[in-house]
Amino acid sequence: MTGHPDDVTICECFARDGLQHEPVFVPTSTKVALLDRFVAAGFTRIEATSYSHPERVPAFADASDVLARIPRVPGVAYKATCPNPAAVRRALADLDAGRGAGELSFLVSASESHTERNLRTTRAGQWERMAEMADLAGDRFRIVGVVSVAFGCPFEGAVDPGRVAADVSRFVELGADAVTLGDTTGVATPTTVATLFGRLEREHPDLPLVAHFHNTRGAGVANAVAALDAGCRHFDSALGGVGGHPASIGYGAGLTGNVCTEDLVCLFESMGVRTGLDLDALAAASAACEEALGRPLHSMVARAGFAPNVVPA
């Protein structure tokens, strides 16, 4: 997914993890226009939509329409979230119709309480679903396993890192091509991030690990740097720092959103860590996201601009 040791790949998550938190439906045409801007900025991995049940997460009732209309550019992979086997069947139908996603996210939670609240099953039940979903998907998609609440649960508190490591191993056994560690409500610290990512890099040296941090308590970018130092080269973020859990789900507090893409890119590029993104196009995409939602978002760089030592690509 990357070449030079100082390269990173950032997956832009505004269109899925970002929009799931919005109480007002964003028109399909607006989503497609934003996704076009993300491609123009140079993102090679983009989280485009979710196959969540439209009655439960209405923000993605247009998932198939979005996938049918987005620009198809060589080297750009679109990802769709699949919480259950029915979602995978929808993804397969879209793929057969010539409008599918190249990647699918398969979700588990590291705690029982979050699993019951977010996925409406038990952990054992969700892993049974994972096996069925992997069989359904076969080799037709790139599969990204996602472990939510990997650093702490809003209902149970601390999460055993050994349980997270076991979940990662189970995804590997199911054939996942990458695994994401999600700090779902922003409780991670650079110390816990370094420890867990370091452990998993040692246990699975050939597995791409993806760092997915939320900035709920202001530590998101610091945690990303800790993951980088531990060997991680794959990151999720969302323009404007939007997102979090679906608007209809009432856990979490404060600003539950993702790490701001603009701020993460600015810091990485200032450190000499190359993202491969066009900063002028990224700034234009950032402004377009604010216009689409009708309000200023949470990026510091959107207000101050990129640092003087960052030269646009």
309 lies in some domain: no
Task: Please report the pLDDT score of residue 253 as a whole number.
Answer: 61
Residue 221: DSSP 8-state? H
62 lies in some domain: yes
47 lies in some domain: yes
Instruction: Check whether 254 has a pLDDT greater than 60.
Output: no
2 lies in some domain: no
278 lies in some domain: yes
Task: Please report the pLDDT score of residue 309 as a whole number.
Answer: 81
Instruction: Check whether 99 has a pLDDT greater than 60.
Output: yes
Quote the pTM value: 0.94
List the domain range (segments joined by +) for residue 244.
Answer: 9-304
Provide the sign of the torsion angle of the four alpha carbons 2, 146, 168, 182, taken in this order.
positive
Q: For 36-76, write each residue's pLDDT tens digit.
A: 999 999 999 999 999 999 988 899 999 999 999 999 999 99
Distance CA 30, CA 283 (A): 17
pLDDT confidence tier of residue 3, bands split at 50, 70 and 90: very low
**CATH code, 178:** 3.20.20.70
Mean pLDDT for the chain overall: 93
192 lies in some domain: yes
Distance CA 290, CA 37 (A): 13
Instruction: Check whether 120 has a pLDDT greater than 90.
Output: no
pLDDT confidence tier of residue 211, bands split at 50, 70 and 90: very high
Residue bearing tokens 């007002």: 24
User: How is residue 92 written in tokens?
Assistant: 């397969």
Q: Give which of 75, 12, 74, 53 is closest to 289, Cα–Cα.
A: 12
Residue 187: DSSP 8-state? -
Task: Please report the pLDDT score of residue 2 as a whole number.
Answer: 46
4 lies in some domain: no
Number of domains in the chain: 1
Residue 260: DSSP 8-state? B
Instruction: Please list, residue by residue across 87-120, b when 16 or more beta carbons sit within 10 angstroms of its beta carbon and e when fewer do.
Output: bbebbbebbeeebbbbbbbbbbbbbeebbbbbbe
* Ramachandran quadrant class, 264 (left: phi over 0; alpha: psi -120 to 50; beta: rest): alpha
1 lies in some domain: no
Largest CA distance in the chain: 51
Average pLDDT of span 281-298? 97
Distance CA 132, CA 109 (A): 17
Instruction: Check whether 234 has a pLDDT greater than 70.
Output: yes
